[in-house]
Amino acid sequence: MSKKINVTVKRQDEQNSGSRWEKFSLDYESGMNVTTLLQRIAANPVTVDAGESTPVAYDACCLEEVCGACSMIINGRVRQACSALVDNLLQDRPDQITLEPMTKFPVVRDLLVDRSFMFNGLKKVRAWVPVDGYFDRGPGPKMSPHQQEDQYPLTECMTCGCCVEACPQINDRSSFIGPHAISQAILFNEHPVGQFEEGERMKAITGVGGIGDCGNAQNCVKVCPKNIPLTRSIAKAGKMATKFVFRNFFGT
Amino acid sequence: MASERVVVVGGGLAGLAASMRLAEAGVSVDLISMVPVKRSHSVCAQGGINSVNTATRELGDSEYLHLDDTVYGGAFLQHQPPVKEMCDWGPRIIDLMDRLGVAFNRTNEGNRDQRRFGGTMYKRTAFAGATTGQQLLYALDEQCRRWEVDGLIRKHEYWEFLGPILDDNGVCRGVVAQDMFRMDIRAFPADAVVMANGGCGLIYGRSTMSLICTGGAAGRCFKAGVKYANGEFIQVHPTAVPGTDKLRLMSESARGEGGRVWVPKKPHDDRDPMSIPEGERYYFLEERYPKYGNLVPRDIATREIFDVCVNQKLSVEQDRLCVYLDLTHLPSSTHKKLEGILAIYEKFQATDPRVKPMKIFPAVHYSMGGLWCDYEKNEQTGGLVLGSPRNHQSNVPGLFVIGEADYQYHGGNRLGANSLLSCIFTGMIVAPSVESYMAALRTRASDMPTSMFDQEQARHKTHCDALISGNGDENPYHIHDELGDSMTRNVTVVRYNKNIEQTLAKIDELDERYKRIRLSDKGNWTNQNLSFSRALGDMLVLARVIARGAMQRDECRGAHYKPDFAITAPDADDPATLRQQAIKWCDAFQASNDQWLKSTVCGYRPDGDHEFGYEEVDTSLVPARPRTYGLKGAEIIEEVWNERMKKKSTESAADTQAVANA
Amino acid sequence: MAVETAQKQSFSERHHFLLRRLHSLSGIVPVGVFLIMHLTINASINVSPEMFEENVGKIHALGPLLVPVEIVGIFLPILFHALFGFQIWFSGQPNTTAYAYNGNIRYTLQRVTGGIAFIFILYHLWHMHWLGNPLGGGHFDPHPGQAAITTAQAMQMSVWRIPVNILYAIGVLAAVYHFANGIWTSLITWGITVGPSSQRVSGVACIMFGIALSIVGLSSIRAFATMDVSEPGSSTHVDRVDSSETIHTQAG
């Protein structure tokens, strides 16, 4: 019953400090997930070799994979800590579980990173429906079930950062805005009212860091915890960008 | 105009709706949230949002019936004018969300589709798959981002609210908050403060709520003098999946779309559920409530599941309490509409709920009670006077409360899919109230001496330092576990005074131990240990409000169920005796209403001996009536009650006539 | 990453999208088209040396126009495609170790094969093209009667015979992979294949095309490598110094 799990956590005290590894040994319990491990560490932050430590800082909120907070690198691969079940992780690698912060965002502390980059991307592509106001103006546009089915998966994006983390085109030497922002731009470009601002969005999409910077590695769609068809959005963005540039070149 | 500033605390549906409405009116908003607002707990709402719609109207539905279902579901404990206003706004709010781009499911003609939810006979609930809360929140998040780009909304994400700032006259002039990364403590002067801080499920340890739903902000307002009402009304959702870190909700929409709850008639039958023949299954909700079936309101469904597992000992598993929630008979098109929750179940339980019934059990889910706030009734319509500064203002002038954080709208039990409506609705209507309040303000926050803000800032800094430097022997996480255990055991579905007493004693003990806590992180950078421990102190305060409220309320109403005070249901075989029993039942019900149809309103006392008072409930639109939901065998109660009401109305008509004649 | 766009944008920033699209286009037209022509003409050696020389003659029939056509139509596009390609390569951060998905491996290979192909082209130019003459290369003589035999001799030079053949095989395969995969990604980039199923179909088509073109390319290497270079009537002495001029005058 007293089966132990080895958990190795990459720790970093502050934004600019170096990192170190700490090992924790925790009691196994069936049905555990990685957030439970972190809660257990918080309650009793004692490492295997160095003794008393501090609780590991991490982001987590809903614990059911709809809020997007708890993305981190678990056993070398980015995913949500809440849905990373310990039993599955131990099956892949029985000796230990390794937790690291995502590498594409500035680390605030330990596993907690600052994802402002992603929210800024949403501002750049103007990811919203430009309604007149919030007074009663009747219902929204009618939509076919088919259209809704296209739209719905894209609306599930929780800005978790998995796509950004896995994208080889996002790093210090590039200004790629990221798959999530492109997908949101497409969502609103395809909305009956959202499309009124398509031009504005396409300016961002065809600018520096826009669709041109996608390298078609297609990791985004593989790591997305919500199975959002990101590569479809990217291809659509390519198509819209082609049309947009031609229209701008030949029109007016 | 430009100098008016409002602080909104909390970025869930209510906080975002309020912020965007205020920004639209040209008011600058400081939006303070512990998490990026897009990660607020509203994302966890699954099933949908209620309103009367063109389809239900054809079948006889109306805003009035929505009101009726809501107050009947809430055991009549809510003031009816705000509920009426909310139900009237329902269709407009859905329209607005539709315009904002929410991906509501569609009919073949392109209209919004609706499903049925608990506590109603109408398909009122608009939905976006099984992630409606997420979709609604994102739409509001997007609008607020738009205002952020325009400069009217300033977001302060990863900032934790520490308390309101009250001036010498007790008027709220802003808030103090702490940067959760840098740990800087700062005062935010404001002409009005809107609290949209959500629920407090973490008091129960594990619940369906997010980690941020500590009740910390509510506790801090309470300690600053805001009254707390109906704390004892905590909704326990009938269908959740137990987990080591949280209890994951399985939406009521699963039943709304045809899901059935059952247990094998043979206790702990270890056969594969799919092989158990229909005749050996006990569909207890359907059998007991033929009219509403699996869609009885949550408090009833929860109690029935409890009863089946605990009293009838029919739990599916021997060492764990659970019942089946079965969706296997539904077509794949229906499974598709429920994809969001099915994926959660599959991911966390490693079983496909499309081919095998889910195992579920009730879990703490929502706080009907909350910070007290006012309203102004419109005598003509029976609803609210829109734009009245009283709407949603607490007893502290300048401090408004909305969303799950307030105590209005849901009374003793909330109907499924009404919370998304109440959150957006309160966000929408609080904006004009805040505006009127500010227009009448003679002095602004900017006129206040800076020393007042500095003092408050310093006070919180001292408190924070004291927590960090505490060097006792108590672990805050263990205290939290014990609090959660005791609250869950004694102050949830079935409540006995002697058990609640135990919990109150436990809270006393934990309070003492809390004074001796020692943080394992004494640093001054992104100290989550501090944030949690501070919230724990507030949880203890609110836990006492909840437990004391429950202790004092000797009756059964909605989610608050005390078997010792339950009125025995008529069960005689002989019709005459049965009728006698029903008459007695109605008398007892009447007496109970006379004594308890009132809201608990609690004021803070530093010694923990909080002041409990009671407030009459405005039931001017729908008089209270027995809440049987067509329970088999309880028809006689309704019969007797209806006769009594009829008689009463003829009598009063006669009285009026007599008065008129005289 | 995430650096807000400065007020002044450089030329490449202002024309970011167009340059990317030009890069995509240049890989297909003219560079890719040239690759197909080049490899199929070479493969005509499998029919007969005369056939090969006839095809070579057709190209060289351009006479004085050949050099400008070569520069504008081939050298500059390759140079642009390569240099811009290197910039793209270095703005990415391959991560196939953590995310060993097919798409990601394709992405990394696309960059590596581009690099190999470019180095090979430089070698190939030295080895065969008259531009290599001053450096002791330029073994190919396009004259009728010389073209086939000089190519074969160049491929069979003394001790270098095996390494040269291997190098050619690698170079050709790299170029073909880069081209075939480039077609696949460009179909996405231009928004022609949007959904996963169409991308799968185009993927199969590109693989088949790549295999076919590889066979074509490798078959000519094999043919030249095994051709009997001491055939009667063929000279082993090549007048390298003025070969190009002679060709021009002859063609004119």
- Comparing CB atoms, the residue among B103, B106, B109 nearest residue A155 is B103
What is the H or E stretch that residue B282 is in?
A: strand B281-282
Contact A72, A101 (CB under 8 A): yes
**CB-CB under 8 Å, A57 with B526:** yes
% of residues, chain B, pLDDT over 90: 95
**Chain C partners of A174 at a C-beta cutoff of 8 Å?**
1, 91-92
Would you say residue C238 has pLDDT above 70? no
Cβ of A46 under 8 Å from any chain B Cβ? no
Q: Are residues B528 and B579 in the same domain?
A: no
Instruction: Say how many domains are in chain B.
Output: 3
Q: Beta strand pairing status for B125-126 and B399-401?
A: unpaired
CA distance C146 to chain A (A): 44
**Chain B partners of A59 at a C-beta cutoff of 8 Å?**
35
Tell which residue, B641, B348, B322, C142, has the closest CA to residue A80: B348
B403-451: per-residue pLDDT in tens? 999 999 999 999 999 999 999 999 999 999 999 999 999 999 999 999 9
Contact A61, A37 (CB under 8 A): no
pLDDT band at C230 (very low <50, low <70, confident <90, very high): confident
**Chain A partners of C189 at a C-beta cutoff of 8 Å?**
214, 216, 238
| Domain containing residue B549: CATH number | 1.20.58.100
Cβ of A175 under 8 Å from any chain B Cβ? no
Report how far apart, in Å, the C-alpha atoms of B428 and of each of B95, B379, B463, B526 are: 13, 21, 35, 34
CA distance B135 to chain A (A): 7
Domain A116-250 of CATH type 3.40.50.150: no
- Output the pLDDT for position C243: 41
Q: Beta strand pairing status for A77-80 and A71-74?
A: antiparallel
**Among A120, A203, A218, which would you mutate to test the C interface (most chain C Cβ atoms within 10 Å of its Cβ)?**
A218
Q: Which residues contact C15 (CB under 8 A, 6 or more apart)?
A: none
- Comparing CB atoms, the residue among C21, C98, C103 nearest residue A218 is C103
Chain B (358-387) residues lying within 8 Å, Cβ to Cβ, of chain A: none
- Output the pLDDT for position C14: 86
Using the 3D structure, point to which of B338, B363, B388 is the last residue of a domain.
B363
pLDDT band at C239 (very low <50, low <70, confident <90, very high): very low
Q: Inspect the structure and tell me whether chains A and C have 3 or more CB pairs less than 8 Å apart.
A: yes
pLDDT band at C13 (very low <50, low <70, confident <90, very high): confident
CATH classification for the domain delimited by C20-226, as one of 1.20.1300.10, 4.10.910.10, 3.30.420.40, 1.20.1250.20? 1.20.1300.10
- B232-246, C85-99, C149-163: least confident range: C149-163
**Chain A partners of B475 at a C-beta cutoff of 8 Å?**
43-44
Cβ pairs A/C, distance under 8 A: 122
- Output the pLDDT for position A252: 54
Tell which residue, B162, B129, B542, has the closest CA to residue B336: B129
B447-471: per-residue pLDDT in tens? 999 999 999 999 999 999 999 999 9
Spatial separation of the C-alpha atoms in residues C27 and C189, rounded to whole Å: 13
pLDDT band at C236 (very low <50, low <70, confident <90, very high): very low
Catalytic residues of B: 298
Q: What are the extents of the domains in chain C?
A: 20-226
With CA atoms as reference, the chain A residue closest to B244 would be A32
- Output the pLDDT for position A249: 81
Cβ of A90 under 8 Å from any chain B Cβ? no
**CB-CB under 8 Å, A140 with B100:** yes
- Output the pLDDT for position C242: 41
Spatial separation of the C-alpha atoms in residues B93 and B141, rounded to whole Å: 16
**CB-CB under 8 Å, C1 with A235:** no
Spatial separation of the C-alpha atoms in residues C16 and C23, rounded to whole Å: 11
Confirm whether B440 is domain-assigned.
no
Would you say residue B627 has pLDDT above 90? yes
Cβ of A144 under 8 Å from any chain B Cβ? yes
Q: Which residues contact A102 (CB under 8 A, 6 or more apart)?
A: A71, A72, A73, A78, A113, A161, A164, A165
Spatial separation of the C-alpha atoms in residues A231 and A214, rounded to whole Å: 10
**CB-CB under 8 Å, B245 with A39:** yes
> How many beta carbons lie within 10 A of that of residue B485, not counting itself?
15
CA distance A220 to chain B (A): 20
**What's the CATH fold of domain A4-113?**
Ubiquitin-like (UB roll) (3.10.20)
**Among A59, A61, A91, A112, which would you mutate to test the B interface (most chain B Cβ atoms within 10 Å of its Cβ)?**
A61
> How many beta carbons lie within 10 A of that of residue B312, not counting itself?
13
pLDDT band at C7 (very low <50, low <70, confident <90, very high): low
Domain carrying residue B648? 575-661
**CB-CB under 8 Å, B249 with A66:** no
**Chain A partners of C199 at a C-beta cutoff of 8 Å?**
231, 235
- Output the pLDDT for position B479: 98
Spatial separation of the C-alpha atoms in residues B245 and A81, rounded to whole Å: 12
Confirm whether B308 is domain-assigned.
yes
- Output the pLDDT for position B1: 42
Cβ of A43 under 8 Å from any chain B Cβ? yes
**CB-CB under 8 Å, C108 with A241:** no
ipTM value for the complex: 0.97
| Domain containing residue B359: CATH number | 3.90.700.10
CA distance A250 to chain B (A): 31
Where are the extended beta strands (E) located within chain A?
4-12, 19-27, 46-47, 51-52, 71-74, 77-80, 97-100, 107-109, 112-113
- Output the pLDDT for position B410: 98
**Chain C partners of A232 at a C-beta cutoff of 8 Å?**
194-196
% of residues, chain B, pLDDT over 70: 100
Average pLDDT estimate for B73-87 = 98
Would you say residue C245 has pLDDT above 50? no
**CB-CB under 8 Å, C191 with A231:** no
With CA atoms as reference, the chain A residue closest to B99 would be A140
Average pLDDT estimate for C2-30 = 82
Q: Are residues B544 and B607 in the same domain?
A: no
Evaluate the omega torsion of the peptide bond into residue B91 and state whether it is cis, within 30 degrees of 0. no
Beta bridge partners of B195: B9, B401
Q: Inspect the structure and tell me whether chains B and C have 3 or more CB pairs less than 8 Å apart.
A: no
Average pLDDT estimate for C182-211 = 97
Write a three-state SS string for B10-67: CCCHHHHHHHHHHHHCCCEEEEEECCCHHHCHHHHCCCCEECCCHHHHHCCCCHHHHH
**CB-CB under 8 Å, A232 with C191:** no
With CA atoms as reference, the chain B residue closest to A191 would be B101
C91-125: per-residue pLDDT in tens? 999 999 999 999 999 999 999 999 999 999 999 99
Tell which residue, B305, B207, B248, has the closest CA to residue B46: B248
Tell which residue, B83, B235, B59, B230, has the closest CA to residue B622: B83
Confirm whether B79 is domain-assigned.
no
- Comparing CB atoms, the residue among B110, B248, B340 nearest residue A144 is B110
Would you say residue C6 has pLDDT above 50? no
Confirm whether B286 is domain-assigned.
yes
DSSP-derived 3-state class of residue A79? strand
Confirm whether B25 is domain-assigned.
no
CA distance C98 to chain A (A): 6
- B283-297, B584-598, C143-157: least confident range: C143-157
C39-72: per-residue pLDDT in tens? 999 999 999 999 999 999 999 999 899 999 999 9
Spatial separation of the C-alpha atoms in residues A166 and C205, rounded to whole Å: 28
**CB-CB under 8 Å, A231 with C192:** no
**Chain B partners of A142 at a C-beta cutoff of 8 Å?**
106, 109-111
Chain C (186-215) residues lying within 8 Å, Cβ to Cβ, of chain A: 188-196, 199
Would you say residue B563 has pLDDT above 90? yes
Tell which residue, B466, B464, B508, B463, has the closest CA to residue B483: B508
Tell which residue, B195, B618, B94, has the closest CA to residue B383: B618
Cβ of A185 under 8 Å from any chain B Cβ? no
- Comparing CB atoms, the residue among A116, A217, A235 nearest residue C191 is A235
- A155-164, A209-218, A243-252, B542-551: least confident range: A243-252
**CB-CB under 8 Å, A158 with B39:** yes
Q: What are the extents of the domains in chain A?
A: 4-113, 116-250
* Torsion, Cα of B319, B325, B329, B334 (10° steps): -140
**Among C12, C16, C17, which would you mutate to test the A interface (most chain A Cβ atoms within 10 Å of its Cβ)?**
C17
Cβ of B526 under 8 Å from any chain A Cβ? yes
Using the 3D structure, point to which of B313, B342, B363 is the last residue of a domain.
B363
Residue with tokens 């077509």: B331
**CB-CB under 8 Å, A168 with C95:** yes
Q: Are residues B464 and B548 in the same domain?
A: yes
Chain B (99-158) residues lying within 8 Å, Cβ to Cβ, of chain A: 99-112, 128-129, 131, 134-135, 138-139, 142-143, 145-146, 148-149
Rg (C-alpha) for chain B, rounded Å, is: 25
**CB-CB under 8 Å, A120 with C199:** no
Average pLDDT estimate for B551-571 = 96
**CB-CB under 8 Å, B100 with A33:** no
Q: Are residues B251 and B330 in the same domain?
A: yes
Would you say residue C250 has pLDDT above 90? no
B117-132: per-residue pLDDT in tens? 999 999 999 999 999 9
> How many beta carbons lie within 10 A of that of residue B432, not counting itself?
17
Q: Which residues contact B503 (CB under 8 A, 6 or more apart)?
A: B486, B487, B489, B490, B491, B543, B547
DSSP-derived 3-state class of residue B370? strand
Would you say residue A210 has pLDDT above 50? yes
- Output the pLDDT for position A61: 97
Would you say residue A155 has pLDDT above 80? yes
**Chain A partners of B528 at a C-beta cutoff of 8 Å?**
42, 55, 57-58
**CB-CB under 8 Å, A232 with C107:** no
The rounded mean pLDDT for chain B is: 96
What's the pTM value of the predicted model, to 2 decimals?
0.95
* Torsion, Cα of C32, C33, C38, C40 (10° steps): 110
Confirm whether B87 is domain-assigned.
no
Average pLDDT estimate for B504-531 = 97
- Output the pLDDT for position B658: 80
Beta bridge partners of B248: B241
Would you say residue C240 has pLDDT above 60? no
**CB-CB under 8 Å, B101 with A128:** yes
**Chain C partners of A219 at a C-beta cutoff of 8 Å?**
95, 99, 101, 103-104
